[in-house]
A and B are shown apart, each in its own frame.
Chain A
Amino acid sequence: MQIHQYDTVIVGAGGAGMRAAIESTQRTRTAVLTKLYPTRSHTGAAQGGMCAALANVEEDNWEWHTFDTVKGGDYLVDQDAAEIMCKEAIDAVLDLEKMGLPFSRTEQGRIDQRRFGGHSRNHGEAPVRRSCYAADRTGHMILQTLFQNCVKHGVEFFNEFYVLDLLINDGKTSGVVAYELATGEIHVFQAKSVVFASGGTGKFFKVSSNAHTLTGDGQALVYRRGLPLEDMEFFQFHPTGIWRMGILLTEGARGEGGILRNKDGERFMERYAPVMKDLASRDVCSRAIYTEIREGRGCGPEGDHVYLDLTHLPPEQLDAKLPDITEFARTYLGIEPYTDPIPIQPTAHYAMGGIPTNVEGEVLRNNTDIVPGLYAAGEVACVSVHGANRLGTNSLLDINVFGRRAGIAAADYANEHEFVELPENPAEKVQALVDGLRESTGTESVAQIRKELQETMDANAMVYRTGATLKQAVEDIAALKERYKHVSIQDKGFRYNTDLLEAVELGNLLDLAEVLAVSALAREESRGGHYREDFPTRDDVKFMQHTMAYQEVAADGSTSIRLDYKPVVTTRYQPMERKY
């Protein structure tokens, strides 16, 4: 075991982690621990853009953006946080440009902007061009630009280090414990402040746009340390994933004029969202697609998908604005999007919920108090700027605005505080975890349990949910957790043991899936991405509040979930009926 000491430790090197690192490295001695080489992070898969009311191509302002964000989140958004995000969006985009990000440009040489789902002029009048983009590679460019600037500032990375535990002593942050993939060695990092920026958890669904590596590691280990997870029942299903594969096809495709069609060729979104049509928010579009499918208007012999039609757009426009997604259609489906519509279905995409924080990125341990020295930003966190449904592009915005804020706050905290002593045997828990898996003689397989978890989540906790399906999910997950206790691995070695890490990741997915299902079962209303067929309307009296899920450990070591609720911060906008 090795022990290291850094003022600030950042966990994760996607957009939020690297944005935080650029700030903290200039202020404190910072280490970034990342289970992937930074440029492998899933920020790079984001495509369509990052919204900010630059008003480069038409009238716009940050207040309209704030309203759209609050409405898009079905009024579960903390409005003070949304206002900060939409105000700071403008500088966040300009900062990236100054760092070198190669945005697509207007005729005048300014940053170009395009339409995106749920983003409107003057509180819902019509779609507005707000998304700053670089073709359909905006996430790639953000990830590369942030990595380039990390190189420039000499950020210290520990690549392929898996953080498996958070150390808290006397209520304060004292560090993290990590597993080094190359050697199997355990490392303790003592730190004055820790920033979690470890990304999402979409791999508990089968059809998902998420990378294999998005297994909710940060959420799970914080949760096991007794800290709450907020709003985990709100998971976004992106309307346009490649049929059966789930690979993301950007909403920017519809921003450029793409149309969703059913088997009759009908532009069905006109019926569901008369004003915004194909650019309604993602929850609305995904439900509409499944309604078409359920009512027999789906495409193909099994009627289980619809089309994203780009065939009316000029090939030059597709080449210039949507080069990657059209290539995905060619590579993975073997069709030509110039002339063929693309078969799509909703795909599990984004966790609105996560580790609760305030607007400085400080992690909450209950509805009001923070954990000194602990921060979170990006998809792992819940500020909450996305509420019940995130608007397209607001995730790239979130990571830049709150990644920066968390990096500054964590560094400032480190500069003002001393190290907190490490707890006795700091690596004990992690050592027991990896030894247990390596030495297990059980007969259960990681891949089989993961497959069954994904199947029950797709069947029971997706776009349409009922009390009965969610109870089924809870039951199935409990049974899988029981089987997971007897899981074993084939690779017993120390060098690059990815077999071992996949088993650890599955444990994280199981815990988080359970929190999702239990939180969703308790929320007897429909709001944003959480749709209950048995409770099809929003219930602001009972449920305009955030879910806070805690793990309770009984004397015999068994665990259960306790749910609590936290009020929503409402400033300017009173809840209204949500129409697009």
Chain B
Amino acid sequence: MSTPTVEKHSAALDAVEAGGVELITVTFRIRRFNPEEHPDPVWVDYQLTMDPKERVLDALNKIKWEQDGTLTYRRSCAHGICGSDAMRINGRNRLACKTLVKDVNPEKPITIEAIKGLTVLKDLIVDMDPFFQAYKDVMPFLITQGNDPTRERLQSAEDRERFDDTTKCILCAACTSSCPVFWNDGQYFGPAAIVNAHRFIFDSRDEGAEQRLEILNDREGVWRCRTTFNCSEACPRGIEVTKAIQEVKRALVTRRF
């Protein structure tokens, strides 16, 4: 029963276990904004000596805890599940806790700024209320007719698989705030709301698809999407966001889902 695994070690595992950390010096260039202090945003550089295998969130924490307590951002779980810390890192939307410093070119200053398209309130904190309002507008809950069954509703593994991808959404807003249409038109529902509509439209147990499709048929609905794929690239959960939006568009045309 005891299969030795030690011989199977890869170079990657050996590197992890070797421990010996080579610290590097990194510059973080952060777009600071605090209207209590000054009406305009300003870029501020912070230098850190750190293990490049640490997360960008670890860097922000080090800055806040050791250099400048006024630096302000949202964070909670620190491993890519809660969706608090979406931000623009080197111009791309990412979760700070899921991005390792070594992967964002630490030889040059790493730029960090708030996500775009939502009002910046302080430093990296944006107003999330419009984002959650769009989510609420697509009726993101199971809609059924008639009486509930005594036991669970049956759903085949294939039917469950149909909408699996969009159940992964953590509402971090990385997709919506990467969308050029959303930047220019805050009324647009945005990718995340459509992803959450998709999650129910393609759930075999749900009977509210027609209502949701009508909502998304609006002039601020799915037709605003220009398939630039920014959202799919931005999604930290690997959801094929653009594909989901295309599927909703197709469902609107064919009324099949």
Interface residues of A (CB under 8 A from B): 36-37, 39-42, 44-45, 93-94, 97-100, 102-111, 134, 137, 140-141, 144, 148-149, 151-152, 182, 211-213, 247, 261, 263-267, 270, 299-302, 307, 309, 311-312, 324, 328, 331-336, 339-341, 343, 445-447, 489-491, 493-499
Cα of A134 to Cα of B203 in the assembled complex, Å: 15
What separation, in Å, do the CA atoms of A182 and B170 have in the docked complex? 22
| B residues near A447, Cβ cutoff 8 Å | 64-66
In the complex, are the beta carbons of A334 and B16 less than 8 A apart? yes
Chain A residue with the shortest CB-CB distance to B123: A496
Query: Could you give 29 example pairs across A and B, Cβ below 8 Å?
Result: A40-B83, A40-B84, A42-B76, A45-B82, A98-B153, A100-B141, A100-B200, A109-B155, A109-B156, A140-B168, A144-B169, A151-B140, A211-B76, A212-B76, A247-B79, A264-B6, A265-B4, A265-B5, A267-B1, A300-B17, A334-B53, A336-B12, A446-B65, A447-B66, A490-B68, A495-B34, A496-B122, A498-B72, A499-B70
Do the beta carbons of B170 and A331 come within 8 Å of each other?
Answer: no
Q: In the complex, what residue of chain B is closest to A244 when comparing beta carbons?
A: B19
As a 0/1 sequence over residues 152 to 181 of chain B, the CB contacts with chain A under 8 angstroms (1 = contact) are 111111011001100111110000000000
A212→B78 contact, CB < 8 A: yes
User: Are B36 and A102 in contact, CB atoms less than 8 angstroms apart?
Assistant: no
**9 closest A-B pairs (Cβ-Cβ)?**
A265-B4, A100-B142, A447-B65, A490-B69, A109-B154, A300-B17, A499-B69, A152-B141, A148-B141
Closest A residue to B131 by beta carbon equals A37
Known: A37-B171, A270-B1, A332-B100. 19 other contacts (CB 8 A): A42-B82, A44-B81, A93-B152, A99-B141, A99-B142, A102-B163, A109-B154, A211-B76, A212-B76, A263-B6, A301-B19, A311-B5, A324-B81, A335-B16, A336-B12, A445-B65, A491-B69, A495-B121, A498-B73
Assess whether B77 is in contact with A312, with CB atoms less than 8 Å apart: no
| Chain B residue at smallest Cβ distance from A98 | B148
CA separation between A45 and B80, bound complex, in Å?
A: 9
The residue of chain B having its C-beta at the shortest distance from the C-beta of A139 within the complex is B81
Q: Is the CB of A499 within 8 A of B64?
A: yes
B226 at the interface (CB under 8 A from A): no
Contact status A333-B152, CB under 8 Å: no
Q: Which residue of A lies closest to B124 (CB)?
A: A496
Residue of A nearest to B80 (CB): A331
Considering the complex, give the chain B residue whose CB is closest to the CB of A132: B152
Inter-chain CA distance A341–B5, complex, in Å, is 8
Q: In the docked arrangement, what's the CA distance between A62 and B180, Å? A: 53
For B4, give its contact among A148, A264, A495 (CB under 8 Å): A264
Which chain B residues in 170-200 approach chain A with CB under 8 Å?
170-171, 200
- Which residues 60-118 of B sit at the A interface, judged by CB distance below 8 A? 64-66, 68-70, 72-84, 98, 100
Given contacts A45-B82, A107-B157, A311-B8, is CB(A97)–CB(B17) below 8 Å? no
Task: Judge if B15 is at the interface, Cβ distance under 8 Å.
Answer: yes
Contact, CB under 8 Å: A105 / B10: no
Residues of B within 8 A of A37 (CB): 84, 128, 132, 171
Complex Cα gap A534–B135 (Å): 56
Is B254 in contact with chain A by the CB < 8 A criterion?
no
Which residues does chain A contribute within 8 Å of B1, judged by CB atoms? 267, 270
Distance of A83 Cα from B130 Cα, bound (Å): 44
Nearest chain-A residue to B129 (Cβ)?
A159
Give every chain B residue within 8 A of A341 (Cβ-Cβ): 5, 8, 13
Bound-complex Cα distance A44 to B200 (A): 19
Highest count of chain A CB atoms <10 Å: which of B12, B74, B75, B82: B82
**B121 — which chain A residues lie within 8 A by C-beta?**
182, 495-496
Contacts of B167 on A, CB cut-off 8 Å? 102, 134, 137, 141, 144
Q: Quick one: which of A307, A339, A494, A496 contacts B72, CB cutoff 8 A?
A: A496
Cα A336 to Cα B34 with chains together (Å): 43
Shortest Cβ gap from B99 to chain A (Å): 9
Q: Is B35 engaged at the interface, CB distance under 8 Å to the other chain?
A: yes
Q: Which residues of A contact B13 (CB under 8 A)?
A: 335, 340-341, 343
User: Would you call B66 and A211 a contact (CB within 8 A)?
Assistant: no
* Interface: B253 (CB within 8 A): no
B10 and A45: CB pair below 8 A?
no
Cα distance A270–B37 when bound, in Å? 62
CA distance in complex: A489, B205 (Å): 52
Say yes or no: A45 contacts B77, CB within 8 Å. yes
Query: Are A333 and B16 in touch, CB under 8 angstroms?
Result: yes
CA–CA, A212 and B73, complex, Å: 13
- Given A140-B170, A151-B140, A152-B141, the answer on whether A102 and B75 have CB atoms closer than 8 Å is no
B125 located at the interface, meaning its Cβ lies under 8 Å from any Cβ of chain A in the complex: yes
**Residues in A whose Cβ lies below 8 Å from that of B206:** 100
Q: Which residues of the partner chain A approach B170 to less than 8 Å between Cβ atoms?
A: 39, 44, 140
Contact with A along B123-147 (1 / 0, CB 8 A): 1010010001001100011100000
- Measured CB to CB, the nearest residue on chain B to A489 is B69
Residues of chain A contacted by B82 (CB below 8 angstroms): 36, 39-42, 44-45, 211
Q: A94-B152, A110-B152, A299-B17 are in contact. Are A151 and B77 (CB under 8 A)?
A: no
A265 and B78 form a contact (CB under 8 A): no
Interface string of B226-240 (1 = CB under 8 A from A): 000000000000000
Provide the residues of chain A in CB contact with B8, threshold 8 Å. Answer: 311, 339-341
